Amino acid sequence: MATLADSFLADLDELSDNEADVLEEENNDVANMEEDIDGDLADIETLNYDDLDSVSKLQKSQRYIDIMQKVEDALEKGSHISNQGMVLEDDPEYQLIVDCNGLSVDIENEIVIIHNFIRDKYRLKFPELESLVHHPIDYARVVKKIGNEMDLTLVDLEGLLPSAIIMVVSVTASTTSGKPLPEDVLQKTVDACDRALALDTAKKKVLEFVESRMGYIAPNLSTIVGSAVAAKLMGTAGGLSALAKMPACNVQLLGAKKKTLAGFSTATSQFRVGYIEQTEIFQTTPPALRSRACRLLASKATLAARIDSTRGDPLGNAGKTLKEEIHKKIEKWQEPPPAKQPKPLPVPDSEPKKKRGGRRLRKMKERYAITDMRKLANRMQFGVPEESSLGDGLGEGYGMLGQAGSGKLRVSIGQSKLAAKVAKKFKEKNYGSSGATSGLTSSLAFTPVQGIELTNPQAHAHQLGSGTQSTYFSETGTFSKIKRT
Amino acid sequence: MIGTKLACRDRKGTSRKGKSCFIKSVMHGECNGCSLQMDEVLASVAEKIKNFAVIYVVDITEVPEFNTMYELYDPSTVMFFFRNKHIMIDLGTGNNNKINWALKDKQDFIDIVETVYRGARKGRGLVIAPKDYSTKYRY
């Protein structure tokens, strides 16, 4: 700001005259810097601006005035069938429409800028309003209506907003932290509101004009979605070729409004649909099929827009066929499903059972697996009569169970593979005390650095590397990496 | 008395079908409730088991040749054949050759047919019915 420049100059004044040359250079540098600073400051100032005109230049611009004039003239003239033989790009009307599209995008941006301006100014008065009323034009209208009023019961917001929002706004206003604005700020804010509304009406006029010419510009697109929606789509996209370049998913969302929540849940919020929602086809589909219909419409509309942008079908026949297609598809969706045929049973034992595998199954099978004892009992040595439970060949035979000179009737069960793995893991993790530890031991360790540690760091060190314990024959040791030298 | 006929065919000829098929003959004596009930069960089941079984209804008054051979004297009788061989079922009633009474439950009947099919495919001549009918059948 100005004080910064002043401070620089003050610094320079302190310097002695001997360094006059250096001073001059520095002066220049400072001057340049000052300009730069001023430039930056100017940019910053536009944010803390006081003057609306420094922000919103569109209305004063020549281009705007020209186009608006032409639009008014054309609207008065009414529609006329233009010469089909002429190439589209040469037609002055087409040029005007292209300009209108660009202008409507510019107007929209301008409205956003003005909205920001109004919002910044009005923040002192009523900061919560911006989160309650999202739409810029509605916001402008509300601000204009409320003005500097502190008591919202005196202000009638009927017709500007839905009643639910009015209620929320009134309640918030009663507890707001804002203060009334000074007179000049209020005046500027109201001016900005007026300008925003004026721009809005201008945009509407432009759209109206484009809509009336839509049948000539984009016949296929207007056949499918209707001329009003086609005009809006073109306006938002910024031209027919811009619309044609968009993917269909974007076209679906052109003009989608952000829903004001006001404390309501998002569980019932509708799917994303923009201007397509206003088409006749969409409105006549049953609500259950609407999201599918929206996607279908958007895709066919994009196709039609692409045909129109290259002037592939000036008569609009492609649009008609596409529309027929859409109708047919929506009809088909509404058909009842085919009657359910009772299925006959499959032939028994013709479909093999789906066998599962895995650890769980293996463990289950282990419970019923044949043990070694049973295996031995099932076998017999050649030429050696087996012993039996009742003696003399009666009762159950013992097979090789007591034989082979072992003298032991008992055969150890032998650990299953899974049990071996589990046992190893158990040992590694050191679950449970071996019984040799006293009841006073705990897993807390008192270290000099941290004080109390929950795990004993000594325990870990033991595992790896006491020199006496060899890991070669260790039961819990794992592979270690051996580098080739 | 001529009973209703769902299908009437010579039993011997039908075993030449490609699919393995059952030949069941429901033989009607008089057209009374017992046989009608059995008829209804069979008619409703026929579509479901058509992949592995075929039902034939034969009127014993019209085709009396097999009456003595199979002892067909009851109002409704169901017998099971697989590839021209008679399959016996242990129903618990004492008579393993046929079902003499009107079976009410469709699913029961389908279970019996499936058991017979499985056993007959394995080559068994006698299969054991999944349900016991010793107390159900009151003569």
Total structural domains within chain A: 2
Q: Say yes or no: A116 and A231 in one domain.
A: no
Task: Using a CB–CB cutoff of 8 Å, tell me whether B49 touches chain A.
Answer: yes
pLDDT > 70 in chain A, percent:
72
- Averaged over B38-46, what is the pLDDT? 89
Mean of all residue pLDDT scores within chain A: 78
- Averaged over B133-139, what is the pLDDT? 70
- Phi/psi of residue A349, nearest 5 degrees: 65, 10
Condensed to tens digits (0 to 9), the pLDDT of residues A34-45 reads 444 444 444 444
pLDDT at residue A120 in the model: 87
Q: Say yes or no: A188 and A246 in one domain.
A: no
Query: What are the structure tokens assigned to A393, written together?
Result: 């060949």
CATH number, domain with residue A198: 1.10.287.4070
Task: Using a CB–CB cutoff of 8 Å, tell me whether B121 touches chain A.
Answer: yes
pLDDT-derived band at A268 (thresholds 50, 70, 90) equals: low
Identify the CA nearest to B60 among candidates B38, B76, B48, B44: B76
Q: Count of CB contacts below 8 A, A vs B? A: 23
Q: Say yes or no: A187 and A278 in one domain.
A: no
Q: Give the minimum alpha-carbon distance from A347 to chain B in angstroms, rounded to a whole number.
A: 6
Residue A46 has pLDDT above 60, yes or no: no
pLDDT at residue A432 in the model: 60
Which domains can be identified in chain B, with CATH numbers? 20-137 (3.40.30.10)
pLDDT at residue A232 in the model: 85
Strand B23-28 and strand A451-453: the pairing is unpaired
Compute the Cα dihedral for B32, B34, B40, B46 and give only its sign.
negative
In chain A, what is the straight-line distance between the N-terminal and C-terminal CA atoms, in Å? 71
Domain boundary among A280, A304, A335: A335
Residue A164 has pLDDT above 80, yes or no: yes
* Partner residue opposite B114 with nearest CB, options A342, A344, A348: A348
Task: Using a CB–CB cutoff of 8 Å, tell me whether B85 touches chain A.
Answer: no
- Between A475 and B93, residue with greater pLDDT: B93
pLDDT at residue B108 in the model: 93
In a domain, A245, yes or no: yes
The count of other CB atoms within 10 Å of the CB of residue B90 is 14
On the CB side of A79, how many CA atoms lie within 13 Å of its CA? 11
A380 burial type by CB count under 10 A (0-12 exposed, 13-18 middle, 19+ buried): middle
Are the Cβ atoms of A348 and B117 closer than 8 angstroms?
A: yes
Q: Give the minimum alpha-carbon distance from B118 to chain A in angstroms, rounded to a whole number.
A: 7
In a domain, A283, yes or no: yes
pLDDT-derived band at B137 (thresholds 50, 70, 90) equals: low
Chain B residues in contact with A348 by the CB 8 A cut-off are: 52, 114, 117-118
Q: Say yes or no: A137 and A122 in one domain.
A: yes
* Partner residue opposite A346 with nearest CB, options B51, B118, B121: B51
* Max CA pair span of chain B: 39
Q: Say yes or no: A122 and A207 in one domain.
A: yes
| Ranges of H-type helices in A257-358 | 280-284, 290-309, 317-333
- Averaged over A312-339, what is the pLDDT? 92
Are the Cβ atoms of A349 and B118 closer than 8 angstroms?
A: yes
Q: Say yes or no: A160 and A59 in one domain.
A: yes
Are the Cβ atoms of A348 and B110 closer than 8 angstroms?
A: no
Q: Give the minimum alpha-carbon distance from B44 to chain A in angstroms, rounded to a whole number.
A: 11
Cα–Cα distance list, A87 to A209, A372, A418, B57 (Å): 21, 96, 83, 82
Chain B residues in contact with A349 by the CB 8 A cut-off are: 118, 121
- A206 and A178 Cβ atoms separated by less than 8 Å: no
In a domain, A371, yes or no: no
- Which of B52, B106, B113 is the best mutation test for A, with the most CBs of A within 10 A? B52
pLDDT at residue B126 in the model: 95
Q: Say yes or no: A180 and A282 in one domain.
A: no
Condensed to tens digits (0 to 9), the pLDDT of residues A366-411 reads 889 998 888 888 888 888 888 888 888 888 888 888 776 555 556 6
Q: Say yes or no: A98 and A186 in one domain.
A: yes
Are the Cβ atoms of B52 and A349 closer than 8 angstroms?
A: no
Cα–Cα distance list, A13 to A7, A19, A23, A31 (Å): 10, 11, 9, 14
pLDDT at residue A460 in the model: 55
* Partner residue opposite A348 with nearest CB, options B48, B50, B52: B52
Chain A residues in contact with B48 by the CB 8 A cut-off are: 342, 344-345
* Domain of residue A329, residue span: 217-261+270-335
Q: Say yes or no: A181 and A251 in one domain.
A: no
Residue A328 has pLDDT above 90, yes or no: yes
In a domain, A125, yes or no: yes
* Partner residue opposite A344 with nearest CB, options B51, B114, B121: B51
- Averaged over B86-106, what is the pLDDT? 90
Are the Cβ atoms of A342 and B47 closer than 8 angstroms?
A: yes
| Ranges of H-type helices in A48-162 | 62-77, 92-122, 129-132, 136-146
Residue B55 has pLDDT above 90, yes or no: no
Q: Say yes or no: A129 and A229 in one domain.
A: no
Chain A residues in contact with B17 by the CB 8 A cut-off are: none
Q: What pTM value is reported for the model?
A: 0.49
Condensed to tens digits (0 to 9), the pLDDT of residues A423-436 reads 888 887 776 655 56
Residue A471 has pLDDT above 70, yes or no: no
- Averaged over A349-366, what is the pLDDT? 88
The strand pairing partners of A161, in sequence order, are A158
pLDDT-derived band at A216 (thresholds 50, 70, 90) equals: confident
Chain A residues in contact with B54 by the CB 8 A cut-off are: none
Task: Using a CB–CB cutoff of 8 Å, tell me whether B46 touches chain A.
Answer: no
Q: Say yes or no: A100 and A209 in one domain.
A: yes
In a domain, A437, yes or no: no
In a domain, A401, yes or no: no
pLDDT at residue A90 in the model: 55
Interface confidence, given as ipTM, is 0.75
Torsion, Cα A93 A95 A96 A99, to 10 degrees, reads 160
pLDDT at residue A67 in the model: 82
- Phi/psi of residue A26, nearest 5 degrees: -65, -35
Domain boundary among A315, A335, A355: A335
In a domain, A439, yes or no: no
Are the Cβ atoms of A344 and B110 closer than 8 angstroms?
A: no
Q: Give the minimum alpha-carbon distance from B87 to chain A in angstroms, rounded to a whole number.
A: 17
CATH number, domain with residue A285: 1.10.246.90
- A260 and A169 Cβ atoms separated by less than 8 Å: no
- Between A466 and A295, residue with greater pLDDT: A295
What share of residues in chain B are helix, strand, coil (percent, to 5)? 30, 20, 50
- Averaged over A3-13, what is the pLDDT? 71
The strand pairing partners of B57, in sequence order, are B26
DSSP run (H or E) holding B90: strand B85-90
Identify the CA nearest to B78 among candidates B21, B27, B137, B22: B27
Residues B38-71, buried b or exposed e (16+ Cβ, 10 A)? bbebbeebeebbebbbbbbbbbbeeeeeeeeeee
Q: Say yes or no: A163 and A242 in one domain.
A: no
